[in-house]
Chains A and B, each alone.
Chain A
Amino acid sequence: MTTRFLRRLPLRVAIAVLLVVEIYPLVWLLLGSFKTQNEFLSEPSWALPSQLNFGNYIEAWTQGNLAIYVRNSLLAVVPSLALIIALGVAAAFALEVLVWKGRQTVLLLFLAGIMVPWQMILLPLFTTYFELGLAGTLWPLIITYTATGLPLTVFMMATYFRSVPHEVFEAATLDGAGMLRAFWSVGFPMVRNAVFTVALVQFFFIWNDLLIALTFTISDDLRTVQAGLLSFTGEFGQTAYGPLFAAICTNVIGTLLLYLFLNQRVMKGLTAGSVKG
Chain B
Amino acid sequence: MHNVLGDRRAVIILLGPALAVYTLVMLVPVLWSLGLTFFEGNALFGFDAVGFENFTTLWNDPRILDSLWFTVRYAVVITIGQVLLGYLLALLYVFALRKASSLIRTLVFFPIVLPTVAVGLLFQQLFAIAPQNGLVNELLNLVGIASVDWLGSADTAFWVLAAMDIWRSMGFYAVLLYAGLVEIPDDIIAAARLDGATGWQMVWRIVVPLSMPVLLAALIFSINGTLKVFDSIVALTNGGPGDATTPLTLYMFRTSFSYGEYGYGSTIALLLTVLSLGVTLLIFRSSRRDVSGTDR
A positions within 8 Å CB-CB of B: 11, 14-15, 18-19, 21-23, 25-26, 28-29, 32, 40-41, 44-46, 83, 87-88, 90-91, 93-95, 97-100, 106, 109-110, 113, 115-128, 130-131, 143-144, 146-148, 150-151, 154, 166, 169-170, 173-174, 178-180, 183, 204, 207-211, 214-215, 225-226, 229-230, 232-233, 238-239, 241, 244-245, 248, 251-252, 255-256, 258-259, 263-264, 266-267, 270-271, 274-277
| Contact between chains at A179 and B26 (CB < 8 Å) | no
B132 interface contact, C-beta 8 A: yes
We find that the number of chain B residues with CB closer than 8 angstroms to chain A is 97
* Interface assignment of B146: CB less than 8 Å from any CB of chain A: no
Q: Which residue of A lies closest to B3 (CB)?
A: A99
Tell whether, in the assembled complex, residue A119 and residue B107 are in contact, meaning their CB atoms are under 8 Å apart: no
The answer to the question of B36 belonging to the interface, with a C-beta cut-off of 8 Å to chain A, is yes
The secondary-structure label for the interface of chain B is: helix
> From A41, which residue of chain B is reached at the shortest CB distance?
B132
Q: In angstroms, how far is the closest chain A Cβ from the Cβ of B70?
A: 16
Best-surrounded residue of B21, B123, B223 (most CB of chain A within 10 A): B21
B211 within 8 A of A: no
Which one, B10, B109, B266, contacts A179 given CB within 8 A?
A: B10
Residue from A115, A146, A204, A208 with most neighbouring chain B CB atoms (10 Å): A208
B198 to chain A, nearest CB (A): 15
B133 near A45: Cβ-Cβ < 8 Å: yes
Interface residues of B (CB under 8 A from A): 1-2, 4-11, 13-15, 17-19, 21-22, 24-30, 32-33, 36, 43-44, 89, 92, 96-97, 104-118, 121-123, 125-126, 131-135, 138, 167, 171-172, 175-176, 179, 217-218, 220-228, 230-231, 234-235, 249, 252-253, 256-257, 262, 265-266, 268-270, 272-273, 276-277, 280
Q: Is the interface of A mostly helix, strand, loop or mixed?
A: helix
Cα distance, A15 to B89, chains bound together (Å)? 10
